[in-house]
Amino acid sequence: MTLSPELHAALAELASRGRILVASDFDGALAPLVLDPMDSRPIEGGMESLTALSTAPGTTVALVSGRALGPLRELSGAREPLLLIGSHGAEDSRLPDGLALDERQRVLLATLEEETRRLAEDHPGIRVEDKPAARVIHTRGLPPEVGSAALEAATALGKRHTDLVVTPGKEVVELAVAHVGKGVALLALADDLGVDAIFYAGDDVTDEHAFEALAHDPDQERAARRVTVRVGDGPTAAQHRVADEPGLLEVLQTLEALRTSR
């Protein structure tokens, strides 16, 4: 696989900047999608490339995921100085407590726990993932008609509780009592770090929201320097596209070589 001239040029321009943020989704970008989310593992060379990038001067590297921080750290094998942004931006590895819920959110989470348990009884075969601030309904591997019915029921549950944030994805629906959004989290991190440019790659609906947020960055000069990459097919707001996880690995290795040789 060879990168397009446009993407290579964009990476070279990004690598020339003084201080940059390099961020990527995990599942579907660095790790192939699998039936059981806890079986997910990063593609060989992916985390190694990110770790190498994180040691380059003026370079901060982050994994930005819908997963909670604990599983994200465990499955990715990420270690400092890599940053982890979990639960769609609601958790941040830089914070000592990761995430704090108020009393209203704790009560809502208890209600959500009870209702998703009933949902699992009504739709055998679905998997309910527990997160510190959410419950996630997974239907990957189920027959389409069974999965669709379960996802519709999960979405309806979210609509009954207007304080919940409902986030659909690929054969998944997340119901969260606290939600920031990947785009908001990326821009906040960029502001905290004072970076000149941002790279972000991802494959899912929540990543599309991030691509759009980065395109409308209030810092217009930084927005003009962004590099966004969609992994896989489907409509996208990203500037560039690669076919799969090995394609993203080539992007990261190219950026690593460009950044470390400047």
CATH number for the domain that contains residue 54: 3.40.50.1000
* pLDDT tens profile 210-233: 999 999 999 999 999 999 999 999
The whole-chain average pLDDT of the chain stands at 94
Q: Does residue 148 sit in the same domain as residue 119?
A: yes
Q: Does residue 18 sit in the same domain as residue 94?
A: yes
The pLDDT score that the predictor gives to residue 146 is: 95
Mean pLDDT of the 157-172 span: 92
Label residue 1 by pLDDT band (50, 70, 90).
Answer: low
Percent of the chain exceeding pLDDT 90 equals 85
Q: Does residue 12 sit in the same domain as residue 73?
A: yes
The pLDDT score that the predictor gives to residue 100 is: 62
Q: Is the pLDDT of residue 196 over 90?
A: yes
Q: Does residue 71 sit in the same domain as residue 200?
A: yes
Q: Does residue 36 sit in the same domain as residue 73?
A: yes
Q: Is the pLDDT of residue 12 over 80?
A: yes
Q: Does residue 85 sit in the same domain as residue 16?
A: yes
* pLDDT tens profile 32-48: 999 888 899 999 999 99
The CATH number given to whatever domain includes residue 140 is 3.30.70.1020
Q: What is the pTM of this model?
A: 0.82
Q: Does residue 145 sit in the same domain as residue 191?
A: no
Mean pLDDT of the 117-131 span: 95
By residue range, what is the domain housing residue 83? 5-98+181-260
The pLDDT score that the predictor gives to residue 35 is: 84
Q: Does residue 144 sit in the same domain as residue 22?
A: no
Instruction: Please spell the DSSP secondary structure of the chain, one letter per residue.
Output: ----HHHHHHHHHHHTSSSEEEEE-SBTTTB---SSGGG--PPTTHHHHHHHHHTSTTEEEEEE-SS-HHHHHHHH---TTSEEEEGGGTEETTSTTS----HHHHHHHHHHHHHHHHHHHHSTT-EEEEETTEEEEE-TTS-HHHHHHHHHHHHHHHHHSTTSEEEEETTEEEEESS---HHHHHHHHHHHHT-SEEEEEE-SHHHHHHHHHHHT-SSHHHHHT-EEEEESSS---SSEEESSHHHHHHHHHHHHHHHHT-
Lowest mean pLDDT among 91-95, 233-237, 239-243, 251-255: 91-95
Number of domains making up the chain: 2
Q: Does residue 93 sit in the same domain as residue 213?
A: yes
The pLDDT score that the predictor gives to residue 109 is: 94
* pLDDT tens profile 42-82: 999 999 999 999 999 999 999 999 998 999 999 999 999 99
Q: Is the pLDDT of residue 97 over 80?
A: no
The residue out of 149, 176, 203 marking a domain boundary is 176
